[in-house]
Amino acid sequence: MRKRILTGDRPTGPLHLGHYVGSLKNRVELQKEYETFILIADVQALTDNFENPQKINDNLYEVALDYLSVGIDPAISTIVVQSMIPEIAELTIFLMNLETVGRLETNPTVKDEIKQKGFEKSLPVGFFCYPISQAADITAFKADLVPVGVDQLPMIESTRELVRKFNRLYGNTLIEPKALISEFSKLPGIDGAKMSKSLGNTINLSDSESEVKKKVMKMYTDPKRIHKDDPGQVEGNVVFVYHDAFNPNKKEVEEFKKLYREGKIGDVEIKERLIVVLNEFLDPIRKRRAEYASNMGAVKKILLDGIARGREVAGVTLKEVKQAMKINYF
Ligand code: TRP
């Protein structure tokens, strides 16, 4: 059997360049080699947006368009809407028996997010348990490989633990997945902080040329550099991080770095070049997006086909899971 990939994103906003270098790029490249499932994790998105379901509804098709526009090919990859796969919810319930409150409490990603979202005083159980449902996402599809950003490593680790426990108790049934982390999985936002839609510092895959221009012009550079002929710092400089990640002309980037360190090139010049680089990168993505967006009927069909295929695959796993757990009475 061909090895499988499963990854996903919460549809809480447009996907951005951080998503691209962190994991979308890997997915597009690997989809030919691996059987690929991409989950639009609307159920998970609701765990911290249950008061604002319209936001998730608004972003479902947008995220589907993001996937298709970067080159996820629906002829070879399967896009799955999480809420439409009841097998995932079922498996979540079974896996809950194998997880402990203590281990969830010490999960570094959950800990960070609880703080970030102000859930310290009153923590919704659904949110607290989302690592278990994420483990169900991965294992229902028997994924071998999970391309994600580094922030997701604790999720994969807890999934691996759950799989080992399940297989030890009930016999070899589930697959222990591996994380695939990419080189640029920590692309900063335009202000140098972590790129995140909640911080409003993203460059989105769906941004127009003028939005990209505006955002790059606002990008942080070297805060200590005041005049153009001051020697500048390249390390940690947001504009250079982006050149490294997106400029295909590595020689040019090295030259820019040298000139910048010597105080011989201005912020504006390297930003102007970055605007061109990013727009050249985004142009084919924008074109493909416009094509799909002009035929939303076809996008709907892609999603419905994905759901059907998803249920088929997860259905097989759940049958095996129930047999292993001895809940196969009839
Ligand atoms: N937690 C992931 C995120 O916030 C999204 C996600 C949901 C996911 N289910 C998944 C990622 C399964 C990988 C595998 O980005």
Q: Is 80 exceeded by the pLDDT of residue 183?
A: no
Name the packing angle between helices 130-140 and 108-116 (round to 10°).
Answer: 130
Claim to verify: residue 138 and residue 21 sit in the same structural domain: yes
Domain contains 204: no
CA of 117 to the centre of ligand 1 (A): 17
Q: What percent of the chain has pLDDT over 90?
A: 90
Claim to verify: residue 87 and residue 234 sit in the same structural domain: no
Q: Name which residue sits closest to atom 8 of ligand 1, judged by CA.
A: 8
| 40 Cβ inside 6 Å of ligand 1 | no
Claim to verify: residue 154 and residue 266 sit in the same structural domain: no
Question: Which of the listed residues 63, 79, 112, 137 should we mutate to test ligand 1's pocket, taking the one with most ligand atoms within 8 A of CB?
Answer: 137
Length of the chain: 330
Claim to verify: residue 116 and residue 139 sit in the same structural domain: yes
Domains in the chain, number: 2
Q: Which atom of ligand 1 lies closest to the CA of 155? A: 1
Q: Which atom of ligand 1 lies closest to the CA of 143? A: 14
CA of 79 to the centre of ligand 1 (A): 13
CA of 45 to the centre of ligand 1 (A): 10
| 107 Cβ inside 6 Å of ligand 1 | no
CA of 292 to the centre of ligand 1 (A): 24
Domain contains 233: yes
Report the CATH number that the domain containing residue 157 is assigned in CATH.
Answer: 3.40.50.620
pTM of the model: 0.95
What pLDDT score was predicted for residue 151?
87
Residue with more model confidence, 243 or 151: 243
Segments forming the whole domain that contains residue 246: 209-289
Q: What is the pLDDT of residues 301-325, one digit of tens each?
A: 999 999 999 999 999 999 999 999 9
Q: What is the mean pLDDT of the chain?
A: 95
Claim to verify: residue 147 and residue 8 sit in the same structural domain: yes
Claim to verify: residue 182 and residue 310 sit in the same structural domain: yes
| 44 Cβ inside 6 Å of ligand 1 | yes
